[in-house]
Structure 1
Amino acid sequence: MAVPKRKMSRSNTRHRRSQWKAAVPTLVECNSCHEPKQQHIACPSCGTYNRRQVLEV
């Protein structure tokens, strides 16, 4: 198993971790109610997915 030869400094560790960012979820318009919703997920406001009613709202 690979083990680091030397301890990585706090500055280098934080510089490496600074690139870890949370991505903003992509929102699309619902086909039936035109509300913003996440892709590939049933619409939370009207309950449709792929132009079919899948949730009772």
Structure 2
Amino acid sequence: MDAISTQAGAIVFVYKDPDGTLSSDCTGCGEYAWTLAADHDFARQHAAECLRRPHPLRLAA
């Protein structure tokens, strides 16, 4: 639904869940948020504060 870049080059993805709530996932610190408070402002705030570089993708063996 949305992708917000962090200062360190990671991305905070925002998803709309089937029940209408939002969740977010950060490729830098790995934080996954699913709360009623997870909205675009929440994701933007996390993106502004997260200083971790993006993790490399892990492929299943």
TM above 0.5: no
Q: Higher strand share goes to which structure?
A: 2
Q: In which range does the TM-score fall when normalised by the shorter chain?
A: under 0.3
Q: Scaled by the length of structure 2, what TM-score is found?
A: 0.25
Q: Scaled by the length of structure 1, what TM-score is found?
A: 0.26
- Structure with the greater alpha carbon radius of gyration: 1
